[in-house]
Amino acid sequence: MRRTHTGLRVRLVFTFTVIAVAASALVAGIGYEFVKSRMIDRAEQVAVSDVRDTLEGIRVPIGALWPGDSPPTDDEISALQKSLRPQGGRVVVRYEDYLYPDGDFGISDVPADLGVRATQRLVAKRQLIDGDMWLLIGTPVWRIEPIHTAQPTGMTVFVFAPLIEEQRLLSDLRQPLALAGGAMLIIALGLGLASARRVLLPVRRLGSAARALGAGHLDTRLPVHGQDELAELTATFNDTAAALERSVLELRSLEAMSRRFVADVSHELRTPLTAMTAVTDMLSEEAERLPREPAAAVRLVLQEIARLRTLVEQLIEASRFDSGTATLNVDTVNIVDAVCDCLAMRGWTDQVRVNVPQGLSFPLDPRRFDVIVANLVGNALRHGEPPVLVTARSTPNGLEVKVRDHGKGIPAKDLPFVFNRFYKAGARGDGSGLGLSIARANAQLHGGTISVRAQHPGTLFTVWLPPA
């Protein structure tokens, strides 16, 4: 039996693999997101805390100036930017209508929504700039001295804290997570293969045992291991096989008894039939001198005795095939002589046309070949219409003999069953139903066969015998 790629083994391994991939991806994803969240949150908390602490200690005169204060200078703004700037970061300051960029960073790098909210309170947002992740902190600056009351100053600062280091650490984390996922996948594949083998080995044994049982090895049994479902299935198979073996043995015994009975009855009938045949020869001579009604009764008895004799001979022949005692006595036979002798012996010469090449010889059992021809020709004469034709030819594959009549033919529904024992096609009820079966058995004993095909009109039987 051809195995497909959708077998149980493949499906089990595929299922283990899918579960392993899903589990590893889920664990790796959850772990990665957890580490990422904690790392980024901590970086954000540190950055926000540094900005808040730095702003609480500024002394730059900004906002509503008190007597003696002067507006902040560019140097003071630069000093404020420097004090707020994290390592590797940038600080952009907006004071009233003035903008103070820092390097390549300007107010254009600040998202509009964050710029609006930063005028009211401290806000933070992660922002991707030129492929790198930054933490953007925006906050207004309040002045709380010298009257210790918080006053708006009109200044807003935007601190860009780099998260590049965190990005690098997270990127480095992906590799061990991927390696762990790969290791889990390999382990899952190994477990899948091992589990598939463990599960499928008993199934394969059951399949092999079932095939052996189907091939006729009725003593096939399997060892039962464990107490799981497969062990229970194996035990059930053994019980079923044992029951099947008992049933088949009983059937074989009954069949053997039936064959012996048929053979014994046939042989026992032979003795009285021999005596009855001797009497019929005398009766047939006296029938012409008897009155009409007794003569008709005598002819009927003679006809039925002849049919009974044919039936007994056919039953004895069938019993030989059933018991396996039928043998071949092969000899090189002239086919045209064998066919003509068969027809002449039965008085059919004038009723049958023979078309067989002169000199055609073939190795076969002459007695069994005579049985084949006699059954096919007799069947054509009894149930068909003339002309009945017998042809034979030698082919590279062996000997081919054809017998055809030109009658109404065998009904199509009966054609597949005409070689079955005791099967009578259509209205053909005056035969025993054994002739075609015995003819085919003789052909098969030669290693050949007989086929039947409807013609228009009539029926064609073809005998094929292989070379010896």
pLDDT digits (tens, 9 = 90+) for 304-359: 777 777 776 766 666 666 666 678 888 999 999 999 999 999 899 999 999 999 98
- Average of per-residue pLDDT values in the chain: 79
Q: CA–CA separation, 334 vs 349, rounded Å?
A: 17
Q: CA–CA separation, 132 vs 126, rounded Å?
A: 10
- Measure the CA angle with vertex 320, ends 314 and 323; round to 5°: 140
Positive or negative torsion for Cα 441, 460, 356, 376 = positive
Instruction: Give the N- to C-terminal CA distance of the chain in Å, as an integer.
Output: 34
3-state secondary structure of 57: coil
Question: Two tokens at 424?
Answer: 């009578």
pLDDT band at 116 (very low <50, low <70, confident <90, very high): confident
pLDDT band at 67 (very low <50, low <70, confident <90, very high): low
Question: DSSP assignment of 258-305, as one string?
Answer: HHHHHHHHHHHHHHHHHHHHHHHHHHHHHGGGS-HHHHHHHHHHHHHH
pLDDT, tens digit (0-9, with 9 covering 90-100), for 384-409: 888 999 999 999 889 999 999 998 88
3-state secondary structure of 240: helix
Q: What is the pTM of this model?
A: 0.46
Q: CA–CA separation, 88 vs 455, rounded Å?
A: 102
Predicted pLDDT at 370: 92
- Residues linked to residue 134 through DSSP beta bridges, in sequence order: 127, 162
Contact 122, 54 (CB under 8 A): no
Predicted pLDDT at 2: 47
pLDDT, tens digit (0-9, with 9 covering 90-100), for 229-241: 778 888 888 888 8
Q: Which domains does the chain carry?
A: 8-171 (3.30.450), 218-326 (1.10.287.130), 327-465 (3.30.565.10)
